[in-house]
Amino acid sequence: MIEIRDVSKTFTLHNQGSAVIRVMEGASLSVAAGECVALTGASGAGKSTLMRMIYGNYLAASGEILIGGVDVVRAQPREIIRLRREALGYVSQFLRVVPRVPTLDVVAEPLLAVGVDRAAAMDRARDLLTRLRIPERLWSLSPTTFSGGEQQRVNIARGFAHAYPALLLDEPTASLDAANRDTVLDLIHEAKARGAAIVGIFHDAEARDAVCDRVVDVTGFSPQAAA
């Protein structure tokens, strides 16, 4: 479901004499439906860079990144937007808060965007907010004023609302208390059980071991390793 073939990445530093730095070469990885793969490697090894290339925020210099048949490397912006709406979810620790939109709508929005009817979308949003222990009195408010941890949990609820076939997780359990961390691990297990292909970065080794089937060290994709 997520197929990465021979991907390389360079950065051109335009403010430093257009210096070109090669950060990745020969990155290949295949993640099947129902599988969760953790990216590991020391700080600076390229975990976030690979995740950003899969999501289409960074453009790979060469290679292919196939998500449900769409090659993210060659896709037009319009196709990437559709892919993100329908097939490719991304859960980070941080919520991009839109002022004045109530929390329930923030969580239900990805479902409404794919045509789920409003009542069903709201039911799913309520269920997720309850499971992630966001008090009901906050549901009608915008998360703008919420605590960091509350915003993180709203973001997780939003990220798990729609059943994306491919899911990227960037430290989804970081700084959560034990009960909410367990809920997130349950949500990951449920996503796997319905067939999601998942790639994640987990600094929490216990959480990683609880949900991941495999670990891939991106150090193996560094240009030195490929040389």
Ligand X SMILES: Nc1ncnc2c1ncn2[C@@H]1O[C@H](COP(=O)(O)OP(=O)(O)OP(=O)(O)O)[C@@H](O)[C@H]1O
Closest distance to ligand X from the beta carbon of 46 (Å): 4
Which has the closest alpha carbon to 97: 55, 151, 175, 173?
151
For ligand X, the closer CB: 62 or 144: 62
- 25 residue type, one letter: E
- Cβ–Cβ < 8 Å for 157, 129: yes
For residue 197, state whether it binds ligand X (rule: CB under 6 A): no
For residue 4, state whether it binds ligand X (rule: CB under 6 A): no
Determine what percent of the chain falls in helix, strand and coil, rounding each to the nearest 5: 40, 25, 35
Closest distance to ligand X from the beta carbon of 51 (Å): 8
Closest distance to ligand X from the beta carbon of 13 (Å): 6
CA 196 to CA 132: how far, in whole Å? 20
Strands 88-91 and 166-170: parallel
> Which of 44, 57, 133, 145 contacts ligand X by CB under 6 A?
44
- Cβ–Cβ < 8 Å for 2, 66: yes
> Which of 48, 75, 123, 174 contacts ligand X by CB under 6 A?
48
> Which of 3, 5, 10, 11 contacts ligand X by CB under 6 A?
11
Closest distance to ligand X from the beta carbon of 219 (Å): 9
For residue 23, state whether it binds ligand X (rule: CB under 6 A): yes
For residue 47, state whether it binds ligand X (rule: CB under 6 A): yes
Task: Strand 62-67: give its sheet, edge to edge.
Answer: 19-31, 2-13, 62-67, 70-71
The residue ranges that bind ligand X (CB under 6 A) are 11, 23, 41, 43-49
